[in-house]
Amino acid sequence: MSSPAESLWNNCLKIIKDNVSRQSYKTWFEPIEPVSIEDKVLTIQVPSQFFYEWLEEHYVSLLRKTIKRELGEDARLEYKIVVENSTGQAKPFTVNYPNYNTGNNKNPEVSMPLVVNSSIKNPFVIPGLKKVNVESQLNSNYNFDSFVEGDCNRLARSAGYAVASKPGGTAFNPLVIYGGVGLGKTHLAQAIGNQVKQNFSNKTVLYVSSEKFTNQFIDALKNNVVNDFVHFYQLIDVLIVDDIQFFANKDKTQDIFFHIFNHLHQSGKQLILSTDRPPRDLEGMEERLLSRFKWGLSADLTIPDFETRIAILEKKMYADGIELPRDVVEFVAYNINTNIRELEGALISLLAQASLNKREIDLDLAKKIIKNFVRSISHEVSIEFIQKTVCEYFEVPIDKLKEKTRKRNIVQARQLSMYLAKNYTKNSLKVIGKHFGGRDHSTVIHSCQMVKNLIDTDEGFKESVKELEKKIQLSMS
């Protein structure tokens, strides 16, 4: 039978699960273990100091409300933190790996060298070129300033920033960033590397694609310098490997990477990996390697929402020193909703067409360009249609939306209509406000925020919003 603390915590988790994303719940609440309950004080155990600080910074309000709901107003929450050793790192160790140079599989012990020996060959040095220093292979344009934060990437970005501030010293080791094509995996991974270089000039950071790593390993096998290859990678403080899904079915590459991974991880070095799917869905991988990918944090990047897409375009425009009409920006952001790469590509095409044809950028030109990026542009819906749909659903007279009444059902219908108008039309906040009795843009912003809050806290209201969105989307198809 479960203890009183476990029963109470399970009740709390049911509430928490309805108020956070699936990924956040899995990352921040599943690892928590209930310890005891005494005098309305619930004690929970968390894996690390960083974990505790993150909960206190991002979820303290939710935790407080949940505990009080279960135990009463005078309830309190206390933490028990798993303490790491005094050095903050694992003890010195040795690692075994197959000696491919001799064909001997006795796995001799190899300890991590403290000084780079000139005889160790750098796999990033091109034969015939004089190049001594280990360069990071990072693109300096990929940084946190140019990475726009939104609901689609907040967890991954926050974890990445934490890693950059304390590489190898957080629970996020390895940090696995996964998501579809063009969603910013490479950008974020390299942004972490660039931030580490800025924060810690003495640390060696290296970015490498899985394909390049594999080719380097093949060359090392051909030239009988696998020991040098392994020693080189053991020297890295922060190793970033992009697109690890391409290690699939490459047994020897996986084997050598497994031992490099072990050595770096147990030496307190940071590993950052990217892939197009969650680690559990990677096929053709050794189970022992997959288990290590799951040691740290797997954070996903999803398709950005409308507001985030606008923010990405505005950031790009600002960086390039250009301005576009607001209706054009909103049109591009609304119709290209698959990935960021296509979004930026559409902006570049729009600017190129305007320059070559010597014409101003307007909505007509934008519609013409967007046809090259999407199969069909959705039919636009009007604010009037949204108002009619919402009023019919809630059985509210449509003319009441424009009045200054504070009746709850009418206020809710008005706020939801504004929210949907903002998401499904290309009208500015000012224009939307005019359709609701001449209200200003700040009222529209407030209404949208109120709707978002209700979606997060009221399951019934959330379902109503989903039904209305389906009606609107069907009308657009």
Domain topology for 4-81: GMP Synthetase; Chain A, domain 3 (3.30.300)
pLDDT of the residue at 293: 87
More confident residue, 324 or 263: 263
The yes-or-no verdict on residue 190 having pLDDT over 90 is yes
Q: What is the pLDDT of residue 474?
A: 62
Q: What residue ranges do the domains of the chain occupy?
A: 4-81, 132-301, 306-370, 383-476
pLDDT score, position 475: 63
Lowest mean pLDDT of 131-135, 154-158, 159-163, 342-346, name the range. 131-135
Give helix 340-357 / helix 306-320 axis angle, nearest 10°.
Answer: 50
Does domain 383-476 correspond to CATH entry 3.30.2010.10? no
Same fold, 4-81 and 306-370: no
Q: Which helix (H) or strand (E) covers residue 242, if one does?
A: strand 238-242
With a CB cutoff of 8 Å and minimum separation 6, the contacts of 250 are 214
Q: Which CATH architecture has domain 306-370?
A: Orthogonal Bundle (1.10)
Phi/psi at 355 (nearest 5 deg)? -70, -45
State percent of the chain over pLDDT 90: 19
Give residue 113's pLDDT: 30
Residue with the bigger pLDDT between 49 and 398: it is: 398
Residue 444's alpha-carbon distances to 402, 428, 437, 447, in angstroms, are 13, 10, 12, 5
- Homologous superfamily of domain range 132-301: P-loop containing nucleotide triphosphate hydrolases (3.40.50.300)
**Given this model, what pLDDT does residue 73 score?**
85
Q: State the average pLDDT for the chain.
A: 80
Cis peptide before 174 (omega within 30 of 0): yes
Q: What is the pLDDT of residues 346-378, one digit of tens each?
A: 788 877 877 776 777 777 777 777 766 654 445
Is pTM beyond 0.75? Reply is no
Q: Which tokens sit at 455?
A: 């979606």
pLDDT tens digits, residue range 425-444? Answer: 877 888 898 889 888 888 98
Residue 98 pLDDT > 50: no
